[in-house]
């Protein structure tokens, strides 16, 4: 499944203070990703703030993205929602609008059982009729997919990949061997958590689902290609340039930092959705310092 391989870049969704999409700014983000040559765009993921947007806002964002990208780069869209009915509707809309794939997280208020998650994914995959990636993001959903549940889900038609969090023991190779042993051939196991991208890709991960590539696609792609080629020395060099930024991602959360990066790059000033607060000026200065090696042709 080539759709869920390589570098998937996740842009912010620029919304103004009145809740309206800033289409021209979204286009700027997307054009940078397309021009860099990323393997796919992950629209309306966690970095895209999907959980803070209404279904109507998400549909408008998808259509603006489809119009801009125009088939030049595969477009994977997040369709997670609190209810199965809404997620099904978003999945059907994604197919009609021209998305290439789906990303589904089990959003919830009440804790979900494995059977509830299975039936949720089964219904949404059927409604969307597009290749679907399981979004295993316990940091936000508080639900962790067991290997057995991923294996069950991988048998559903259209479920083609999983987006994993970084393993606590950093045993990427071991985790992937275990997962591939119980999933069909071609099922793609990829990772999020930007600071672990190098190690995950060098260990054979299929995809880096990247926050930072949403605004800095060129150095992110350089790190991806070096890792995919098994060039550990080059991958380490590039990752070292990213290290100060990775530290800020871990300290503040990558979502908050990305809004500051957009402003520093001169792409536009947007603020996170309330109650999320922008970084303080002193922290903004730290982001500026962290960006220097990445903006001075260090990679």
Tell me: the pLDDT tens digits for 244-257?
A: 999 999 999 999 99
Sorting pLDDT into bands at 50, 70 and 90, what band is 140?
very high
Tell me the mean pLDDT in the region 54-75.
98
pLDDT digits (tens, 9 = 90+) for 26-51: 999 999 999 999 999 999 999 999 99
- The 3-state DSSP class for residue 60 equals helix
Tell me the mean pLDDT in the region 66-72.
98
For all residues of the chain together, what is the average pLDDT? 96
Q: Which residues are part of the catalytic machinery?
A: 135, 163
User: Could you give the angle at the alpha carbon of 34 between the alpha carbons of 28 and 36, nearest 5°?
Assistant: 105
pLDDT of residue 17: 84
Residue 178 has pLDDT above 90, yes or no: yes
pLDDT of residue 297: 61
Residue 1 has pLDDT above 90, yes or no: no
pLDDT of residue 2: 76
Backbone angles phi, psi at 102, to 5 degrees: -125, 150
- Look at the block and give the residue holding tokens 């220097």: 292
Tell me the mean pLDDT in the region 255-266.
98
Residue 97 has pLDDT above 80, yes or no: yes
Tell me the mean pLDDT in the region 142-156.
97
What is the fold of 6-230?
TIM Barrel (3.20.20)
Is 47 annotated in some ligand binding site?
Answer: yes
Tell me the mean pLDDT in the region 200-206.
98
Residue 144 has pLDDT above 70, yes or no: yes
Sequence-separated (6 or more) residues with CB below 8 Å from residue 209: 8, 10, 42, 45, 163, 190, 191, 192
Tell me the mean pLDDT in the region 217-235.
98
Instruction: Specify the range with the lowest mean pLDDT, choosing from 14-18, 105-109, 141-145, 230-234.
Output: 14-18
In the chain, domain spans: 6-230
Sorting pLDDT into bands at 50, 70 and 90, what band is 298?
very low
The helix (H) or strand (E) run that includes residue 41 is strand 40-43
Residue 102 has pLDDT above 70, yes or no: yes
Sequence-separated (6 or more) residues with CB below 8 Å from residue 60: 21
Nearest to 295 by CA among 272, 260, 261: 261
The two three-digit tokens of residue 162, written as one number: 């999983």
Q: How far apart are CA 87 and CA 140, in angstroms?
A: 17
Tell me the mean pLDDT in the region 138-162.
97
């Amino acid at each position: 499944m080539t759709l869920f391989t390589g570098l998937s870049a996740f842009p912010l969704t620029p919304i103004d203070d009145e809740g309206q999409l800033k289409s021209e700014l979204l286009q700027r983000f997307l054009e940078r990703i397309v021009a860099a040559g990323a393997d796919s765009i992950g629209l309306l993921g966690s970095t895209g703030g999907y959980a803070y947007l209404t279904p109507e806002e998400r549909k408008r964002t998808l259509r603006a993205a489809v119009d801009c990208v125009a088939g030049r780069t595969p477009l994977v869209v997040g369709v997670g929602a609190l209810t199965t009915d809404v997620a099904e509707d978003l999945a059907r809309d994604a197919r009609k609008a021209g998305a290439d794939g789906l990303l589904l997280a089990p959003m919830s208020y009440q804790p979900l059982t494995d059977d509830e998650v299975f039936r949720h994914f089964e219904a949404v995959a059927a409604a969307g009729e597009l290749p679907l990636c399981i979004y295993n993001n316990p940091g936000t959903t508080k639900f962790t997919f067991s290997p057995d549940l991923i294996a069950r889900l991988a048998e559903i038609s259209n479920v083609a990949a999983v987006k994993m969090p970084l393993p606590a023991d950093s045993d990427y190779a071991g985790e992937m061997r275990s997962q591939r042993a119980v999933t069909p051939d071609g099922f793609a196991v990829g990772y999020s958590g930007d600071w672990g991208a190098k190690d995950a890709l060098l260990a054979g991960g299929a995809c880096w689902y990247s926050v930072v590539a949403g605004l800095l696609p060129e150095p992110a792609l350089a790190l991806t290609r070096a890792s995919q080629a098994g060039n550990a020395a080059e991958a380490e060099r590039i990752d070292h340039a990213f290290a100060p930024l990775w530290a800020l991602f871990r300290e503040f959360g990558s979502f908050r930092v990305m809004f500051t990066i957009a402003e520093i790059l001169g792409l536009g000033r947007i603020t996170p959705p309330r109650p999320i607060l922008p970084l303080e000026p002193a922290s903004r200065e730290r982001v500026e310092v962290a960006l220097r090696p990445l903006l001075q042709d260090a990679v």
